[in-house]
Amino acid sequence: MSKIIVVTGVPASGKTVFAQKVGNKFNLPLFSKDSLKELLFDYVGVENRDLSRKFGMASFELLYEITEQLMRTDVAHVIEGNFDREFASNVLNKKMEKYDCEFLQFNFYAQKNIIRERFEKRWDNRNVKNSRHKGHMDNENLEIVENTGGKNKALDIPGELIEVDTTNFDNVDYKQLNQKISEFLK
């Protein structure tokens, strides 16, 4: 049985860093929408926001294909992205009908003003080494913050859902989250 850790939430909520730490700590393959998208940016280039969005959609499709292959072979793994509730729920539930698997879902969020500050800081730091890829065009995506209010609805998939408020990263009990993952993977 494949065990899948789903890390979702709004941009700039800390989900990518968390997913990377989970992958490393538990020696699990991690597939992130943005990592796939950045490969496309680097290989094809990105000229405008419309192309960036198309790469985002393509990256999710790649992520779902990878997930299906890992489900088929019963490999535990982590998937991360700002998943669309309706679309992603539908895709993952259909795949679950084909393969025996379990989900543990983390939904990351923070107060809207904090998400906005983090979002703006990403853009301001775009030229700093190891910063977020310029192709994301975060300066043109602030409406995401406005539309979500700092929180996306979790996916409608079976399994435990853990809501993670990252308004203040120091208040997140990562030890408890890791314990949940350890229990899930047993």
Structural domain of 157: 2-181
Name the domain count of the chain. 1
Q: What is the pLDDT of residues 94-107, one digit of tens each?
A: 999 999 999 999 99
Q: The domain that contains 42 carries what CATH number?
A: 3.40.50.300
11-30: b (≥16 Cβ within 10 Å) or e? bbbbbbebbbebbeebebeb
Q: Is residue 16 part of a domain?
A: yes
Q: Is residue 10 part of a domain?
A: yes
pTM: 0.91
- Compute CA distances 141 → 50, 136, 168, whole Å: 11, 8, 23
Q: Is residue 76 part of a domain?
A: yes
Helix 85-98 to helix 49-72 angle, to the nearest 10 degrees? 20
Q: Which H helix or E strand runs over 35?
A: helix 33-44
Q: Is residue 29 part of a domain?
A: yes
Residue 134 near residue 77, CB atoms below 8 Å: no
Per DSSP, the three-state class of 9 is strand
> What pLDDT is attached to residue 129?
61
Q: Is residue 186 part of a domain?
A: no
In the chain, % of residues over pLDDT 70: 88
